[in-house]
Amino acid sequence: MISAVPPALDLTAILLEQDQPDRLFDEADLVPARMLNEFTYCPRLAYLEWVQGEFVDNLDTLQGTFGHRNVDKPSAKPVPAKPTVVKPAAPPPKRRPSLFDDLDEPAPPVIEVVELSPVDPDDLFAEPQSDREDSPPVTTRALTLSAPREGLVAKLDVLELDGMVVTPVDYKKGSIPDNPFQAWEPERVQLCAQGLILRENGYNCEAGELYYIESRRRVRVAFDDALVMKTRQLVKQLREMARNKKIPPPLVDSPKCPRCSLVGICLPDETNLLLQLERTNEASPQGISQTPDSNLGSGTPAPRARSLDSLWDETQPIGDSPDESDPTSTEFSSPHTRPHPASDSVMRNPSCDAQRPAEPVSGMRRLLPARDDALPLYVKEQGAFVGKDGDRIVVRHREAKLVSVPLMEVSQLSLFGNVQISAQALREIADRGIPICHFSYGGWFHAITHGHVHKNIQLRIAQFAVAADPQRALALSIGFMTAKLRNSRTMLRRHGNGKTAEVVGVRDLDQLAELIHKVERASSIESLLGFEGKAAKIYFAGFARFLQRGEGFDMAGRNRRPPRDPVNAVLSFVYALLTKEVTIAVQAVGFDPLLGFCHQPRYGRPSLALDLAEEFRPIIADSTAMMVINNGEVGPSSFLSRAGAVALTEAGRRSVIAAFERRMDQEITHPIFGYKISYRRVLEVQARLLSRVVMGELPAYPGFCTR
Ligand code: SF4
């Protein structure tokens, strides 16, 4: 809540409009009165909406839209406007030479526009001024007016005019608040902004009214000096905030957040916790300690670097793990915050443990739903046709209707191979912000179709700047790879519980711990990839030991393009599904998925999605693959082998997709925030946290390391 008056502002000037009397704001710089409401409620909310272009509906906003359904329809009635007075100017001063001087034509007449009211379509039907003052009162709806001097624009729900005396009426959902003003401050400020706009347009406007839909009553708000001053002060502060391009901090433990429609984008408690952990680590020498394995590997030469191009290739075409929410495991939970060489710049060493408490935080508010109600829709039937019927997606094959689903229950649409979609369905799906993912018949992730590009251009500018800075790109890459290796090691450790030391591969776990230590200290992307490549060999050797189906499901390391055994065929397919999910997540946040920090740019390759997918490969993709194989959800008949290349059949793909969706929908306990959350939601949260790091709000990327 903004209440303090910054000393830099001249309040008298603000009240008397004298600080910049001649300045008129451009149309693009006008502050919407609605945004002033948001800014008064929470400056961060206004920043997210106005500067970053974020908007999400929640129950409150939908109720508000419903409550406004009548006043959102513009009136057809004429509205009297202050006349536009145009008079001949005084004799013009000596003209500067112009192009016209060479012609023997008189110069164009010069006129001076004394006052020009904004032209509203309704004004075109306005009657002459002489008739207006005697005209009966008029009420109009949904009138948009601007005030270039105040720098404001507003859409007025209702405007009541009695001659040139006007009263704006703003509709508010809910009932009259129980406070001395009988109105919330953001609403009073918004209404006052409307009053200032009306005044600048020549109307006499001393007060407005708030109509509370639930109470069915109006509350009068006088536009006194104090409210006018506060309103103008807030307009200035809002402009200042937008100019600085620095996102305001989240509110702390505020009751406003649970009702805020942008809570899932803002992540207020999560951001505050990560910043607090960072401060604690900086302030407390006890918080900085060496990892238990810190003496491991010193002086070990770096393995040869492995190109990440090969990792992208892996994404194209690992039973169930124990509960990952097991909070009793404290492995890798010791604080380890040795600063990275890049720590002097914007980003810090993103070790998993540096950003997390020894145990998940308990009692932290979960302000975002654990999972989405909407689900992905996969169309794999060759020759199928996707159309739209009202508010539903309908999939047909020849004359048969295969499925009909309400659009509101679909979060994404994936089309495999020869599947058609109608223009109407395409437009409606894109309008609703539902991504359409295109796969080849064999499961190669080709393309994604979506509506307009995300409005958050500031994030893309920052993304390109970070990608161009080797130190900052390295810091992020270390974050992704450290989390990947930790999750790989955790995966092997869990599956080895209760088994012999040989099966568990104790030595493998030690070697992985050593490589994690080296990854955290990598001095270049090349050395980082070298450590990662060596870790992958150890990991897949261990992974193969835990496959329980015997013959037909042997695995001699990872191979791809094309996969040469059933296990690798499943892995390739499930990596493609994971890449699709992460591409959707980074795009929803506003990133350009093609520009990564670790994976180098290559035509058409979603490098950023591949970066972020790294930490989820073991715990989502490999875990899914192990589940379908060990549970017998795929068998020898689920694969086709041709000339040494192995691919899933359509039925096999169906089984893998079903298992992958179960995994994505599975709720786990977040290792830092302590609340239950689905893997699909985790991807979204990690993408948002990454954006906060790239934008400089968070100092280090908190990789998702399962416990
Ligand atoms: S969630 Fe809270 S801190 Fe974030 S924008 Fe909304 S009100 Fe502000």
Domains and CATH numbers, the chain: 11-80+115-239 (3.90.320), 285-359+453-694 (1.20.120.920), 375-448 (3.100.10.20)
Q: What pLDDT sits at residue 71?
A: 65
Q: What is the structure's pLDDT at 69?
A: 64
* Contact predicate 444/317, CB 8 Å: yes
Provide the pLDDT confidence category of residue 707 given band limits of 50, 70 and 90. confident
Using 50, 70 and 90 to split pLDDT, how confident is the model at 619?
A: very high
The pair of three-digit structure tokens given for residue 212, joined into one six-digit string: 């509370």
Distance 212 CA to ligand 1 centre (A): 24
Q: Is 210 helix (H, G, I), strand (E, B) or coil?
A: strand
- Residue with the bigger pLDDT between 461 and 76: it is 461
Q: Give the atom of ligand 1 at the shortest distance from the alpha carbon of 251.
A: 3
Query: For a substitution probing ligand 1, which of 251, 253, 267, 697 has the most ligand atoms within 8 Å of its CB?
Result: 251
Q: Contact, 589 vs 595, CB < 8 A?
A: no
d(CA 96, CA 407): 64
Question: Rounded to the nearest whole angstrom, what is the distance from the C-alpha of residue 262 to the centroid of ligand 1?
Answer: 7
Cα 426 to averaged position of ligand 1 atoms, centre (Å): 33
Provide the sign of the torsion angle of the four alpha carbons 103, 105, 106, 108, taken in this order: negative
Which pLDDT score is estimated for 544?
Answer: 84
Atom of ligand 1 at shortest range from CA of 260:
6
Q: Residues near 77 by Cβ (< 8 Å), separated by ≥ 6?
A: 122, 138, 139, 140
Contact 161, 152 (CB under 8 A): no
Asked if 318 contacts 626 with a C-beta cutoff of 8 angstroms, the reply is yes
Task: Report the atom number in ligand 1 closest to the C-alpha of 367.
Answer: 1
Q: How far is the CA of 363 from the centre of ligand 1 (A)?
A: 19
pLDDT at position 358, please? Answer: 56
CA of 65 to the centre of ligand 1 (A): 20
Residue 359: predicted pLDDT: 65
Atom of ligand 1 nearest to the CA of 48: 5
Mutation to probe ligand 1, out of 39, 42, 58 (largest number of atoms < 8 A from CB): 42
Residue 701 tokens, joined? 């990327």
Please indicate whether residue 103 or residue 705 has the higher confidence score (pLDDT). 705
Q: Which ligand 1 atom minimizes the distance to the CA of 257? A: 2
Answer yes or no: is pLDDT of 696 > 50. yes
By the 10 Å C-beta count (0-12 exposed, 13-18 middle, 19+ buried), 61 is classed as middle
The Å distance, Cα 269 to ligand 1 centre, comes to: 9
- For the Cβ of 250 lying below 6 angstroms from any atom of ligand 1, the answer is yes
Q: What is the mean pLDDT of residues 291-302?
A: 33
pLDDT 10s digits, 226-277: 999 999 999 999 999 998 888 999 999 999 999 898 998 999 999 999 998 8
Q: Is the pLDDT of residue 286 over 50?
A: no
More confident residue, 588 or 365: 588
Determine the residue of 256, 269, 366 to mutate for testing ligand 1's pocket, defined as the one with the most ligand atoms within 8 A of the Cβ atom. 256
Q: Is 56 helix (H, G, I), strand (E, B) or coil?
A: coil
Residues 532-536 have a mean pLDDT of 92
The tokens of 56 are what?
A: 């999400």
Minimum CA distance residue for ligand 1 atom 5: 45
Higher pLDDT among residues 676 and 131, named by residue: 676
| C-beta of residue 130 within 8 angstroms of C-beta of residue 139 | no
Look-up of token digits 């191009």: 309
User: Tokens for 408?
Assistant: 């509101």
- 699 vs 693: CA distance, rounded Å: 6
pLDDT tier for residue 625 given thresholds of 50, 70 and 90: very high
Q: What pLDDT sits at residue 373?
A: 73
210 pLDDT tier (thresholds 50, 70, 90): very high
What distance in angstroms lies between residue 425's CA and the mean position of ligand 1's atoms?
A: 35
Q: Is the pLDDT of residue 10 over 70?
A: no
What is the mean pLDDT of the segment spanning 77-94? 53
Residue 394 phi, psi (nearest 5): -120, 130
pLDDT exceeds 60 at position 335: no
45 lines ligand 1 (CB under 6 A): yes
- Ligand 1: nearest atom to the Cα of 42: 8
**pLDDT, tens only, 112-126:** 333 333 434 344 334
HEC assignment per residue over 488-521: HHHHHHHHCCCCCHHHHCHHHHHHHHHHHHHHHC
User: Which numbered atom of ligand 1 lies nearest the CA of 45?
Assistant: 5
Q: What's the pLDDT tens digit per position in 555-601?
A: 776 767 778 788 889 999 999 999 999 999 999 899 999 999 988 87
Residue 596 Cβ contacting ligand 1 at under 6 Å: no
Q: How many CB atoms sit inside 10 A of residue 301's CB?
A: 7
261 alpha carbon – ligand 1 mean position (Å): 8
For a substitution probing ligand 1, which of 47, 49, 263, 269 has the most ligand atoms within 8 Å of its CB? 263
- Give the residue, out of 257, 273, 367, with the most ligand 1 atoms within 8 A of its beta carbon, to mutate for a pocket test: 257
251 Cβ inside 6 Å of ligand 1:
yes
Is the pLDDT at 18 greater than 70? The verdict is no
Q: Please report where in the chains the tokens 């706009």 appear, as a residue.
A: 197
40 CA to middle of ligand 1, Å? Answer: 12
352 Cα to the center of ligand 1, angstroms: 26
Atom of ligand 1 nearest to the CA of 41: 7
* pLDDT value at residue 448: 84
Q: What is the pLDDT of residue 517?
A: 92
Who wins on pLDDT, 5 or 543? Answer: 543
Q: Which of 16-25, 144-153, 357-366, 499-508 reaches the highest mean pLDDT?
A: 144-153
Q: Determine the Cα–Cα distance for residues 185 and 368; give it in Å rounded to an integer.
A: 26
Specify the ligand 1 atom closest to the Cα of 43.
Answer: 8
Mutation choice for ligand 1 from 254, 270, 271, CB with most ligand atoms inside 8 A: 254
Which DSSP symbol is given to 245? T
Q: Answer yes or no: is pLDDT of 48 > 50.
A: yes
SS (H, E, C) 380-448: CCCCCEEEEECCEEEEEECCEEEEEEEHHHEEEEEEECCCEECHHHHHHHHHCCCCEEEECCCCCEEEE
* Percent of the chain at pLDDT exceeding 90: 43
Looking at per-residue pLDDT, the higher value among 19 and 670 belongs to 670
Q: Is 268's C-beta closer than 6 angstroms to any atom of ligand 1?
A: yes
Q: Whose CA is nearest to atom 2 of ligand 1?
A: 257
Q: What is the pLDDT of residues 377-420, one digit of tens each?
A: 999 889 999 999 988 999 999 888 998 999 988 988 999 989 99
Whether 43 is in the pocket of ligand 1, judged by its Cβ within 6 Å, is no
With bands split at pLDDT 50, 70 and 90, how would you rate the model's confidence at 346? very low
Q: What is the mean pLDDT of the chain?
A: 77
Instruction: Determine if ligand 1 sits within 6 Å of the CB of residue 267.
Output: no
Cα 256 to middle of ligand 1, angstroms: 7
Protein residue with its CA nearest to atom 7 in ligand 1:
257
Judge whether 567 and 647 are in contact, CB under 8 Å. no
How far is C-alpha 614 from the chain's CA centre? 20
How many whole angstroms from 486 Cα to the centroid of ligand 1? 33
What pLDDT does residue 291 have? 33
Does 491 have pLDDT greater than 60?
Answer: yes
